[in-house]
Chains A and B, each alone.
Chain A
Amino acid sequence: MQQLLPTLNDHNLPWMDTIHPIVVHFVIAMAVISVIFDLIGVVMRRPNLFEVSFWNLLFATTAIFVAIIFGQVEAGLADPYGASRSILNLHSTLGWSLAGVLSLLTGWRYVLRNRDPQSLPMTFLAADGVLALLVVIQVTLGNQLIWVYGLHTVPVVAAGRAGLI
């Protein structure tokens, strides 16, 4: 069974380097910029920015599912140790939850846009605030996995294979 699986490199991955952090560029940037353009659109009375927000939000929602697929594979191949175990659990749980939150917000936004693309209710702006907060927490957790615990980096993988952690 084992030999059917691709061999793993010094990042403990079947591909060159982690893909999840590349895909999340599009979730993070598009979700955050969507919230920012909503805010500017309301404050500066620029309704054409609501259209820009809508497309960015839709793209963030599409991208998060790709991010989760690669995230699950790479989390499965990571060898978390110490406190990074619970951080990875939290990051996974919040990742799936964010997929739900983003889908819900996009659906709601689709209905709002069909009714009147020129205005945005304050309730949606409040939901934007929640989304931004969840993204910030999720990004912080992901940052800790790579920048503190170094999951999938060559030295940590080597130390794990040598039984040092």
Chain B
Amino acid sequence: MMRTIEIFLVIIIITAAFIISSLFAVLPSPRQVSPLNLQRLALTTLQTLDDDYCLSETIFEPDYASSWSKLKIALSACLPPNIVYNLTAYEVSMSGPQLYTPTMSISNAESLGTSSDSASYLTASSNVTFNFTPEKIGEQGEGGTLYLLNCSDSNGWWITGYTAQSLAADLYNLLSPYFKATAIVQNTTQLGQILDGNPLQNESLQHAVIINTFGEAVPIPENYADAYDSNSYAEYCYQLGRRVHRYNWTWVSIVGYPLYYVSNTGYFTGSGDHNTWGIYGMKHVGAGGLNAFLSGLDNQMYSYDGDWITGSPGVVHLSSEALYYCNYYGIYPAQYQTATRALPSSVTSTYDLTISTYIIDPVDNWNAGAVYHHAVNGTFLALGLTRIPDIRLTALSLLSDYKPRLYRSEYTASGTSRLVVLQLGQAGGI
């Protein structure tokens, strides 16, 4: 008898356990089990209403009665009948303890039911224009001069479809706001002037940036052509490297094999003075030009080395750093590029260089786009991509390395933006 009583006691205990666990195991209501995503619905409703900026106009409309009445009609028209809403517009204020001050609110129900969700949307006044002021390179220190080679007496190579002059004009538009001074080098005589250490006007020569817009060719002044013609003008490239080192310049090669030809249409006038591809006024330097330039940059003694040093890694990708600066500066070249003249990583040890910025991710020790700083003086930006050059990539590379800041004229949304919050709830049901 005792065992039966004990069993009944056990049953009572288990029953109690079941009842207690059932009390805690509360199942959600059907609406919670399969909820409508009200947050997304609210957001897409606001986006739809603002598709042609109607919502923004309404929010800033001084004639509240008429425009808000239309907004109310539109809200009722586009939301499902069982959805109740409350739309509130907030003024963004910087003064006072409250950041957001409600300015207007409309609703089609007294309450939004037991559960609701909301989405916010920032509208901007149509009277506001957002702009920015870039920090000038060289403003806080030395340098700040941008030289764009625009020599009218030279021809370019591997810039098919463009001229050096059109590329210089594009670069001027893209980069001049970021430099303290921009100088256009109009001919090889002016180039010789700066190579001799004489500024064109009053610009600072030291720490300048020189962009060679002639692709694989480089303009050569007459006196330099006379003086440095050994080894097919490779010595001239060596002198360029020396100048980059001496004045702490940044030399920019925008495409292809750097310094592969020299060009001066007034000097190279012979019938054989062409690059073998039909471009006259040009002389073939070959691979020795780059080697000579790098040895000059490293302040080594001149000796001719005609070895081809670049590689062809094929399709390459912008680095994560470059992608970040694409968004920061609003310059968007293609993320995929083709590299056939990428420099080997070994140049860093051979010529005492350090890579400060990777524009393009390295592939198997080939750097298709990087900025090389010499340990003492001088910088070399080489974009070893195949033709045709994308000049935006050059601009992005320089900006990624110098990193000038952008000062937005409007850091605050006060008075120019209003926050709209649409809260939705479901009417009826449980």
A and B held together in a complex: no
